[in-house]
C-alpha cells in the first residue's frame, strides 16, 4: 500500500513586523516558499525518496538569498562565513552533517555525502571541505555567500556590541518578519510513497557570532532528526537552547516513550521545554502517518507544505 507523500519546509522563525506587514513585502517570500514546496512535491509524486525531496528543498533554500543559508548567509564577528547543515534518513537512521564550512556551495550536499560515505556523521571546517572536494562537490570562494544586506547587518551588530541570534536586520519597516529578530535557518521534512521519512537542515548561523560557533542545525537530535517509526523534524531558533533540550529528538522520544501524538509532542517541546530555558523558535515535523505539525513560539515562521497532489500552502504568521 502506497503512502500519500507529504513535504514541509521552513525558512526560519522570528517576530513579525506587525506595524507594517504589507502583501507586497511578503509576496517574494510566499513565492519562493511555494516554488520550493512544489519542486519537492513533484519529486515525491514521481516516486522520489523522502531524502531526495528534503535535500532538494534545502538546496533551493540555500540558493535563495532571502534566507540565511548558502548564498545570503550571515557574517561571523571576523567577517567570514561559517555554514552548517545536516541530513537524516528515517529508514535506517543514517545521518550526515558538516559544520563551519565556507567553501562548499551547497552544504546540504556535503552533509548527504558524509552520510552516504558512512565512516562518520559530522565533519567540520577544513576537513569537511577537503572531504567535499574529494567527493566532487562544487566549491566556491567564500565571497560567493556574501551579500551587501548581510554585511550591513554585521556592521549594525558590531556597532551595537552584540551577537544576533538571527538575521540581525535591516530597518525595513515593511519586512514580513522583523529582520532584527528572525532566526536564520532553513529546513525540510518529507514522507515518500514508500512511507519513509527524512529531514534536512542548513544555516549560516548567527550574525556576529564567534568564529567556530556551532549551533543546533548540524547536531543530530538537536536541530535535525528522522525516524520512520516516529517522525522527521527540522528546527529553527536559538540554537544553544535547542541543543540543551535535544529538541528534535525529544519530539520523537515523547511519541515513543510517552505515547504522545506528533502534535502533542511538538507543542510540548516548542511551547514548554524550550521557553523554560529561554528558547525561542519553532520546528516542522511530519509523522509516519503524514500528519504535519509546525509550531513556533515566536510571532511568525516562514513555512510551507503540500500533501499528495494538493496545492502547496505557505504562511509567515499564525
Tell me whether residue 147 is one of the annotated catalytic residues. Answer: no
pLDDT at 48 over 90: yes
Per cent of the chain over pLDDT 70 is: 90
- Whether residue 33 is contained in a domain is answered as yes
- Whether residue 1 is contained in a domain is answered as no
- Whether residue 262 is contained in a domain is answered as yes
Total count of domains within the chain: 1
- Whether residue 97 is contained in a domain is answered as yes
pLDDT band at 172 (very low <50, low <70, confident <90, very high): very low
How many whole angstroms from its chain centre is CA 18? 24
Q: Where are the alpha helices (DSSP H) in the chain?
A: 23-45, 50-63, 107-117, 125-134, 148-160, 239-245, 247-257, 262-268, 274-276
CA atoms within 13 A on the CB side of 218: 31
**Each residue of 168-194: b (16+ CB within 10 Å) or e?**
bbbeeeebbbbbbbbbbbbbbbbbbbe
pLDDT at site 175? 54
**Residue 245 backbone phi and psi in degrees, to 5:** -90, -5
CATH of residue 193? 3.60.20.30
- DSSP assignment letter at 23: H
pLDDT at 173 over 80: no
Task: Report the distance separating Cα 213 and Cα 100, nearest Å.
Answer: 8
Any idea which of 31-45, 147-161, 168-182 has the lowest mean pLDDT?
Answer: 168-182
pLDDT at site 159? 84
- Whether residue 59 is contained in a domain is answered as yes
pLDDT at site 26? 84
pLDDT band at 177 (very low <50, low <70, confident <90, very high): low
Any idea which of 42-46, 123-127, 146-150, 177-181 has the lowest mean pLDDT?
Answer: 177-181
Residue with cell 518529507: 190
pLDDT at site 181? 61
Residue range of the domain that includes 75? 6-317
| pLDDT tens track for 4-26 | 999 999 999 986 554 545 667 68
First to last CA, the chain: 35
pLDDT at site 299? 86
**Residue 35 backbone phi and psi in degrees, to 5:** -65, -40
pTM as predicted? 0.92
Active-site position among 76, 185, 236, 314 = 185
Grid coordinates standing for 17? 513586523
Task: Report the distance separating Cα 141 and Cα 305, nearest Å.
Answer: 33
- Whether residue 26 is contained in a domain is answered as yes
- Whether residue 179 is contained in a domain is answered as yes
pLDDT band at 247 (very low <50, low <70, confident <90, very high): very high
Per-residue pLDDT, averaged over 277-306, amounts to: 96
| pLDDT tens track for 128-153 | 999 999 999 999 998 888 878 788 87
**Residue 269 backbone phi and psi in degrees, to 5:** -65, -50
| pLDDT tens track for 205-245 | 888 888 899 999 999 999 999 999 999 999 999 999 999 99
- Whether residue 183 is contained in a domain is answered as yes
Amino acid at each position: 500500500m502506497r503512502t500519500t507523500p507529504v513535504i514541509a519546509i521552513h525558512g526560519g522563525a522570528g517576530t513579525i513586523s506587525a506595524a507594517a506587514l504589507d502583501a507586497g513585502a511578503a509576496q517574494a517570500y510566499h513565492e519562493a516558499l511555494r516554488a520550493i514546496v512544489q519542486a519537492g512535491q513533484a519529486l515525491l509524486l514521481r516516486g522520489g525518496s523522502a531524502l531526495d525531496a528534503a535535500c532538494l528543498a534545502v538546496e533551493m533554500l540555500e540558493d535563495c538569498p532571502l534566507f540565511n543559508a548558502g548564498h545570503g548567509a550571515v557574517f561571523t564577528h571576523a567577517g567570514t562565513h561559517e555554514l552548517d547543515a545536516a541530513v537524516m534518513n528515517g529508514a535506517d537512521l543514517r545521518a550526515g552533517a558538516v559544520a563551519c564550512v565556507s567553501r562548499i556551495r551547497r552544504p546540504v550536499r556535503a552533509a548527504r555525502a558524509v552520510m552516504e560515505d558512512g565512516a562518520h556523521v559530522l565533519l567540520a571546517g577544513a576537513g569537511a571541505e577537503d572531504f567535499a572536494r574529494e567527493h566532487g562537490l562544487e566549491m566556491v570562494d567564500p565571497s560567493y555567500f556574501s551579500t551587501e544586506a548581510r554585511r550591513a547587518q554585521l556592521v549594525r551588530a558590531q556597532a551595537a556590541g552584540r551577537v544576533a541570534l538571527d538575521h540581525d536586520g535591516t530597518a525595513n519597516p515593511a519586512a514580513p518578519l522583523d529582520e532584527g529578530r528572525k532566526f536564520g535557518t532553513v529546513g525540510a521534512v518529507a514522507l515518500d510513497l514508500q512511507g519513509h521519512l527524512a529531514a534536512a537542515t542548513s544555516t549560516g548561523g548567527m550574525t556576529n557570532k564567534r568564529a567556530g560557533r556551532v549551533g543546533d542545525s548540524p547536531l543530530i537530535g538537536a536541530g535535525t532528526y528522522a525516524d520512520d517509526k516516529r517522525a522527521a523534524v527540522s528546527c529553527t531558533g536559538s540554537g544553544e537552547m535547542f541543543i540543551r533540550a535535544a529538541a528534535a529528538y525529544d519530539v520523537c522520544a515523547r511519541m515513543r516513550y510517552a505515547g504522545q501524538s506528533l502534535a502533542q509532542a511538538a507543542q510540548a517541546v516548542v511551547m514548554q521545554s524550550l521557553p523554560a530555558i529561554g528558547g525561542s523558535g519553532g520546528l516542522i515535523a511530519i509523522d509516519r502517518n503524514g500528519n504535519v505539525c509546525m509550531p513556533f513560539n515566536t510571532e511568525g515562521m516562514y513555512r510551507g507544505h503540500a500533501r499528495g497532489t494538493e496545492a502547496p500552502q505557505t504562511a509567515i504568521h499564525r
